[in-house]
Amino acid sequence: MLKEAIFIKLCPPVYRLLEYNRTHKASEVPQLPQGTEVKLLGWVAVKNLVGGVVFLRLRDGSGFIQLSGRRGSIPEEAWDEAAKATTESAVYAEGTVKEDRRAPFGKEVAITRFKVIAGAEPWPLRKSLLKSRSALYDLRHLSIRGLKTASMIKIRSELMRSVFDYFYDRGYVYIQTPILVGSAVEGGATLFSLKYFDETAYLSQSAQLYEEAAILSLDRVFILQPAFRAEKSKTARHLTEFWMIESELAFTELDELLTVEEELVHHMAEHVSLSCSRELDALGKKIVVPDPPFPKIDYEEALQIAERKGVRLEWGEDLGTEAERIVSQSFEKPVFVKGYPLSARSFYHMEDPHRKGVSLSADLLAGGVEIATGGQRIHEYEVLMKRVEEHGLDPERMKWYLDLRKYGMPPHSGFGLGVERALKWMLDLKHIRSASIFPRTTSRLYP
C-alpha cells in the first residue's frame, strides 16, 4: 500500500496516462468517416461556452480540431472537466467524429469523455503584450505554442532535412567537429572565451579548419552545427549563437564550389516550398525558388553599384551592411560577389594568382544580407605560414592546421552558410531571431 502510494507520488503522469492513450492526431480527424470513435491528447488552444455548449479547439502539434459537447447530452463528469478546462491546459478527449459545416475543416468531435491532465494558469500572453517584441521574446518559452512560431520551427526542421538530403545524395560525409577549440578561425574580435582548466578555450566560430583535415580522409564533408560569435553589434542579422552549414571539398576550385552553393540553396528553397505549404500559408509567405545559375559579379562592380546608391567604400574595405543590402536588392536572385580584397578576408584565403591582393573567394548575398561565404584555401605550407605571421597569429596554436600542408594537401575549397540567415532571406523575416526557437543575442540569454 505504502509502496503504491510512493509510486503514484513519484510518477503521477505515467501512472495516470496509461488510461489516456490516443488513437489519432488532430490533423487526421477531418479525413475520418462520420461516426469514427477517436481518443485525442493535446492542449486547449481556445475555449468558448455558448448557451450550454462547450466548444474547444484542441492543438496537438499536428494541427487543430474542434471539440464540442452539450450540457445534459454528455456525461456530467465530461461536462464538468471540459467546462473548467482553461486555455493551454493539457487534456484528453474521447468522442465521435461528426460532420459540421460550421466547424473548421467541416468535421468536429462530439465529446463523450473529457479529462484535464494538467491545468493551466491564466495565459500571460495578452494582445497588449504582443506589441512589444522584447516582451514576446521574454515569454518565448510560451509564445512558441502560437501557430506562426510553430510553423516557423517546422519550416526550419524541413530546411535541415533538405541539407542532409542534398549532401548525403551526393556522397558527402557528415562529420561533427569540436565546439571547444583553442584558436580563432574568423579573427579574435568575435571569440567567446572560457576557462579550460589551466588554459583558455573558445567556442567555435566555424568548423572549417577541422573540415580541411577531414577532407584528406574523406574527400568531401559537411557539417550542420552551432557556431558562436561574440558580435557586439545589435542588428537584425546577427545572433551570438547560430547554426551553420559548412562544407569542404578536396580537389575543388572556386567556380565549382559556387555551383555547389547555388545548387544547395536552390534545393533548400525548393524542398521547403514543396513540403511546407501549410506552414507557409500560416505565415502568409510564399517562397520564390531561385534557379541556378545565380548572377556572379566582381567586388569592384559591387562597389560601383553601392556608390551609385550613395554608399562610397574604399577598395579593400568589407562591403558592410548598407552596401550588401543595396547590391543584393539590385538582383532578383541571390547574387555572388567574387574577388574580395585579401585585406577584407580571414587568413586562410588563397590569393588569385592573376590579381595581386585579391582573394579567390565569394559571398552569397540574398534578401539584403550575406547568407554564405566561401572560397579556395591556401594549400601550400610556406604560403600559409607567411599569412599566419602577417595576421599576427600564433604558429604554435596553428601547428596542426599548418601540418596538414605537409602531407598531401591538394587545392581545395569550402563554404559556410548560416541557417538563420537563409531563413531570414527565404521568408523575408524582419529580424533573424524569429528563425531561432530560443535565440541568443547580445542581450538575451533567457529563456
Count how many Cα atoms sit within 13 Å of the Cα of residue 315 in the half-sphere of its side chain.
7
Which residues, 6+ apart, have CB-to-CB distance to 409 below 8 Å?
A: 212, 216, 379, 380
Q: Shortest approach of ligand 4AD to residue 367 CB, angstroms?
A: 11
Q: Shortest approach of Mg ion to residue 373 CB, angstroms?
A: 3
Question: In terms of Cα–Cα distance, which of 415, 224, 227 is closest to 336?
Answer: 415
- Within 240-259, the residues that bind ligand 4AD by CB under 6 A are 242, 244, 246
Q: Would you say 85 or 250 has its CB closer to ligand 4AD?
A: 250
Choose one: 50-58, 121-129, 267-275, 368-376; the region binding ligand 4AD (CB under 6 A).
368-376
Q: Would you say 26 or 335 has its CB closer to ligand 4AD?
A: 335
Collapsing DSSP to helix, strand or coil, 414 comes out as strand
Q: Shortest approach of ligand 4AD to residue 338 CB, angstroms?
A: 14
204 contacts 210 by C-beta, under 8 angstroms: no
Cβ neighbours around 437 below 10 Å, total: 13
How far is residue 85 from each of residues 39, 117, 265, measured CA to CA in Å? 17, 10, 46
- Partner that binds at residue 246, options ligand 4AD, Mg ion, none, CB closer than 5 to 8 Å by kind: ligand 4AD
CA distance 328 to 334: 7
Q: Which amino acid is at 320?
A: G
Cell (9 digits) for 68: 464540442
Is the omega angle on the peptide bond into residue 410 within 30 degrees of 0, that is, cis?
no
Residue 88 binds ligand 4AD (CB under 6 A): no
- Partner that binds at residue 262, options ligand 4AD, Mg ion, none, CB closer than 5 to 8 Å by kind: none
Residue 208 binds ligand 4AD (CB under 6 A): yes
Q: Would you say 68 or 328 has its CB closer to ligand 4AD?
A: 328
How far is residue 410 from each of residues 212, 253, 379, measured CA to CA in Å? 10, 10, 6
Collapsing DSSP to helix, strand or coil, 91 comes out as strand
Collapsing DSSP to helix, strand or coil, 371 comes out as strand
CA distance 68 to 53: 7
Q: Which of 24, 59, 229, 387 binds ligand 4AD (CB under 6 A)?
A: 229
Residue 418 binds ligand 4AD (CB under 6 A): yes
CA distance 150 to 27: 15
Choose one: 28-36, 133-141, 203-211, 391-399; the region binding ligand 4AD (CB under 6 A).
203-211
Residue 206 binds ligand 4AD (CB under 6 A): yes
- The H or E element containing residue 427 is none
Q: Shortest approach of ligand 4AD to residue 171 CB, angstroms?
A: 19
String marking each residue 327-366 x if it binds ligand 4AD according to CB under 6 A: ----------------------------------------
Residue 414 binds ligand 4AD (CB under 6 A): yes
Residue 373 binds ligand 4AD (CB under 6 A): yes
Q: Which residue is nearest to Mg ion (CB)?
A: 373
String marking each residue 359-378 x if it binds Mg ion according to CB under 5 A: --------------x-----
CA dihedral sign of residues 165, 167, 171, 173: negative
CA distance 338 to 312: 18
- The H or E element containing residue 193 is strand 193-196
Residue 261 binds ligand 4AD (CB under 6 A): no
Q: Which of 220, 267, 345, 421 binds ligand 4AD (CB under 6 A)?
A: 421
Q: Which residues bind Mg ion (CB under 5 A)?
A: 373
Q: Which residues bind ligand 4AD (CB under 6 A)?
A: 185-186, 205-206, 208, 229, 231, 238-239, 242, 244, 246, 370-374, 414-418, 420-421
